[in-house]
Amino acid sequence: MSSAFTRIKEKEEKLLCRTYGRYPVAVCSGKGSRLYGPDGEEYVDLLSGIAVTNLGHCNEEIAEVICQQARKLVHVSNLFYQEEQLDFAEKLLGTSNGLFSKAFFCNSGAEANEAAIKIARRYTQRVKGRPAGEIITLSNAFHGRTLGTVAATGQQKFLDGFDPAAPGFRQVPWGDAGLLEEAVTENTIAVMCEVIQGEAGVRPMSQAYADAVQRICREKGLLFIVDEVQTGNCRAGRYWGYQTYNLQPDIISTSKALANGLPLGAMLTNDEVSKGFVPGSHATTFGGGALLTAVGAKVVEIMQRDRLAERSAQVGEWARQQFEAIAQKYPGTIAEVRGKGLMIGIVLAFPAREIWEGLLKKGFICNLTQDVVLRLLPALTIPKEDLAAFASALDDLLARR
Ligand SMILES: Cc1ncc(COP(=O)(O)O)c(C=O)c1O
């Protein structure tokens, strides 16, 4: 271990709450798909935050907007009208091709989900005049760490020691439409799900299951909420994950890549459901501040101008083919290669920590989730050569196993 790394690690242990299991890597700068350590280490970043820096690290155009806007206006209260918010809202809503017409801005994925949950509840109670009810979520979901979203997440490991869990959620097993249908009662108000579960190891819904979830929502009069925090912003090969399944949710939440690394989140919905919020129903101090939304608008502009959804679909497909070829070459090592666009899970047939560490030693940063899944969420601008180099490093490690 380098001395600079050890110094940083020891200092952090004294100063920060121990909430994060860190990788043995310190980062001091980045550019595009590269990250650099304090002792001159260079890494190919296949993680992008966790699906955050979709336009690459320290993108020049984004840096320019940050500098200009920082000299013009950074923040005023949401008591004031701000055109930056409106420009961003227009551009962001435009990516839904008319499905959504209203936005609420906040600061993170969990907060975007809180807004989705709150508007679903308030719309049901105050507009539809129904009593308070439950939202159904799916097993292995990940919706965030606030008390509400961690209850929606429903996984014991994230709830441990935080009792009492917030009420209002019921969880059903992922992938079984029959069990979902059976779980709906007159007390159910909505279904909330990820169309590709990210933290659970990049697990895409089948088309049939996705269609069934939407059908059940429509037939039973439930709001259909899709958590696009990880799948959104061109990650999965279309602007939004739900578009890859041709779905029409009533509400989506988004964050992560929305401002390429600055804390921005959004909840998008239609005119009807937006009636659930009135002045005073919901708010946040920093939500949609001028600096953040100026950056957000530029992100949408670049994604559309550079056709990054299409690139994500094409390069993702190409990368999956490379990994499939490795799976064929070394039978019994890779159990499955899954995902959509540049949201890729390489599922190993054995605990993958050693391979993950080997990749890190060779200078490739990816994420290990569920013990066996190498999760890749590279910048949508990543050069194909970087993915090819990663494939060759993986090939080498599996050959020597
Ligand atoms: C699908 C999904 N929803 C919500 C969240 C929570 O987002 P945040 O960490 O910004 O609160 C995440 C974070 O990984 C996520 O992947």
For the CA of 145, the nearest atom of ligand 1: 11
For the CA of 265, the nearest atom of ligand 1: 10
Separation of alpha carbons 327 and 392, rounded Å: 12
- What is the pLDDT, as a whole number, of residue 297? 98
For the CA of 256, the nearest atom of ligand 1: 10
**With 70 as the cut, is the pLDDT of residue 350 above it?**
yes
Q: Among 150, 192, 230, 264, say which to mutate for ligand 1: greatest number of ligand atoms within 8 Å of CB.
A: 230
| Sign of CA pseudo-dihedral 90, 93, 98, 101 | negative
Distance 400 CA to ligand 1 centre (A): 36
Distance 110 CA to ligand 1 centre (A): 6
- What is the pLDDT, as a whole number, of residue 2? 58
- In this prediction, residues 7-25 reach a mean pLDDT of 95
| Domains, the chain | 3-58+307-399 (3.90.1150.10), 73-305 (3.40.640.10)
For the CA of 199, the nearest atom of ligand 1: 16
- In this prediction, residues 210-227 reach a mean pLDDT of 98
The set of protein residues with a Cβ atom below 6 angstroms from ligand 1 is 50, 108-110, 113, 142-144, 194, 198-199, 227, 229-230, 255
**With 80 as the cut, is the pLDDT of residue 301 above it?**
yes
Q: Whose CA is nearest to atom 3 of ligand 1?
A: 143
Distance 329 CA to ligand 1 centre (A): 35
- What is the pLDDT, as a whole number, of residue 92? 98
Distance 398 CA to ligand 1 centre (A): 31
Q: 174-178, long-range: CB within 8 Å, 24+ apart, which pairs?
A: 174/138, 174/139, 174/140, 174/141, 174/200, 174/203, 175/205, 175/206, 175/209, 177/208, 177/209, 177/212, 177/213, 177/216
Distance 143 CA to ligand 1 centre (A): 6
- What is the pLDDT, as a whole number, of residue 398? 98
- Residue carrying the six token digits 């899709």: 226
Residue-wise pLDDT for 359-386, tens only, equals: 999 999 999 999 999 999 999 999 999 9
User: How far is residue 90 CA from its own chain's centroid?
Assistant: 21
- In this prediction, residues 129-141 reach a mean pLDDT of 97
**With 80 as the cut, is the pLDDT of residue 318 above it?**
yes
Q: Which of 34, 45, 18 is nearest to 375 (CA)?
A: 45
Residue 253 DSSP SS3: strand
For the CA of 231, the nearest atom of ligand 1: 1
Distance 264 CA to ligand 1 centre (A): 12
- What is the pLDDT, as a whole number, of residue 153? 97
Residue-wise pLDDT for 77-121, tens only, equals: 999 999 999 999 999 999 999 999 999 999 999 999 999 999 999
pTM of the model: 0.98
Distance 49 CA to ligand 1 centre (A): 12
Q: Whose CA is nearest to atom 16 of ligand 1?
A: 230
- What is the pLDDT, as a whole number, of residue 293? 98
Residue-wise pLDDT for 279-289, tens only, equals: 999 999 999 99
The residues, ordered by sequence, that sit 6+ positions from 93 with a Cβ below 8 Å of its Cβ are 100, 101, 102, 103, 268
- What is the pLDDT, as a whole number, of residue 401? 87
**With 60 as the cut, is the pLDDT of residue 20 above it?**
yes
Distance 134 CA to ligand 1 centre (A): 21
Determine how many CB atoms are found less than 10 A away from the CB of residue 289: 26
- What is the pLDDT, as a whole number, of residue 294? 98
Confirm if 101 and 271 have CB atoms less than 8 A apart. yes
Q: How confident is the model at residue 263 (pLDDT cuts 50, 70, 90)?
A: very high
Output the average pLDDT for the chain: 97
**With 70 as the cut, is the pLDDT of residue 1 above it?**
no
- In this prediction, residues 173-187 reach a mean pLDDT of 98
- What is the pLDDT, as a whole number, of residue 3? 86
**With 70 as the cut, is the pLDDT of residue 276 above it?**
yes
